[in-house]
Amino acid sequence: FRDTYLDIPFDVSEVLFICTANTLDSIPRPLLDRMEIIQLSGYTSDEKLAIGRKYLVPKSMEKHGLTKNEIKYTPAILRKIADEYAREAGVRNFEKSLHKINRKVALSLVENKMESLPVVIDEKLLLEYLGQPIFVEDEILKADRPGMAIGLAWTSMGGDTLIIEAQNTPGKGEIKLTGQLGEVMQESASIAYTYIKAHATEHKIDPSWFEHNAIHLHVPEGATPKDGPSAGVTMAVALYSLVTGQVMAPNLAMTGELTLKGKVMPIGGLKEKVLAARRNKIEAIIIPQFNKRDLDKLDEGLKKGITFHLVGSVEEVLAIAFPDDAKRPAMQPVAATAPQPNTSEIAAISAAVAQAVREALGGR
């Protein structure tokens, strides 16, 4: 290999190249085909805690000239930093938070502001050094109204939960999508809407409802671009919840690609999505049955406390999301009534027109 800038030949026949990327899309396909791909999942809270105690804390303390006799972190505080200040898939922000704390402690020691040693980092000091938590319990997503559903998504920074909202207004069956949705996600919304509309009668839904209502489907955090097919079943549940007026089962999240015939197809990034569900106190997750092998590979500690529902069709999804759906009465037909004219207004308008005509004709 001859370097372009140095113009010096190198023997690279025995060199092993290791490349990293957040997403495989960023690597040219011809190069990617010649690589062995090793995918690394995000860390759990327990894994972050272990990495922090064994590596990050000692490394940061040494960097800032601190010793064990001068500063002390408890496991509870390290977990709090990981959960409330550094929820990303890796530990980069976790390490930055430790650096920030250690810098301020080192400065206080130099200025002789510390009365006793070691400085034990507690919640009060954590708030003073790092400010208000970035992630708080109040931000846990809940689908507590008709037209809402909770989905699980994969991003380059790890797993994430997303809420999908649907609202109807008077219209003629239009559907509007907002929230910076990519083309694939827009297609998923269209598929979900078509399926619910096509199977309305089977679910005791009056088909004329779609003829007199327009639907607005929105995914919050509109400044963040979103794409991918795995939100298909979530969109179907949100639309079904809106049309039937039901609230989805609590503490439930879902992921899966939806086909036009109602099949639930496999998804990727299951571990990251389960991690995101745990952070949001999710107790049950709906996943495609094709992802059973991925589920079996997950650590038992990661799956503990979560019920997994393996499904193959959207009908199974709706049965889990709306357990009382069978007891729901059929919808009453939506009457297409034309607005009745107001006779008093018509009379007043006629009189005004007649008066204008008489004045124009000079009173004749």
Structure tokens at 223: 């400044």
Q: Can you tell me the distance from the alpha carbon of 105 to that of 86, in angstroms, rounded to the nearest whole number?
A: 20
Q: Which residues pair with 120 in a beta bridge?
A: 72
Give the type of residue at 56.
L
Closest-CA residue to 45 (of 72, 81, 99):
81
Catalytic residues: 230, 273
Q: Is the dihedral of CA 202, 162, 91, 122 positive or negative?
A: negative
DSSP 226-239: B--STTHHHHHHHH
Going by the DSSP 8-state scheme, the letter that residue 9 receives in this structure is B
218 φ/ψ angles, rounded to the nearest 5 degrees: -130, 140
Bridge-based pairing of strands 158-170 and 213-218 is antiparallel
Q: Can you tell me the distance from the alpha carbon of 255 to that of 266, in angstroms, rounded to the nearest whole number?
A: 9
**Residue that is written with structure tokens 């989905």 in the block:** 151
CB of 282 closer than 8 Å to CB of 235: no
CA dist 126 → 55, 60, 133, 206 (Å): 20, 16, 9, 56
- 185: three-class secondary structure by DSSP: helix
Q: Can you tell me the distance from the alpha carbon of 233 to that of 294, in angstroms, rounded to the nearest whole number?
A: 19
> Burial of 158 by CB count in 10 Å (0-12 exposed, 13-18 middle, 19+ buried)?
buried
Q: Return the HEC string of 263-282.
A: EEECCCCHHHHHHHHHHCCC
Bridge-based pairing of strands 284-288 and 307-311 is parallel
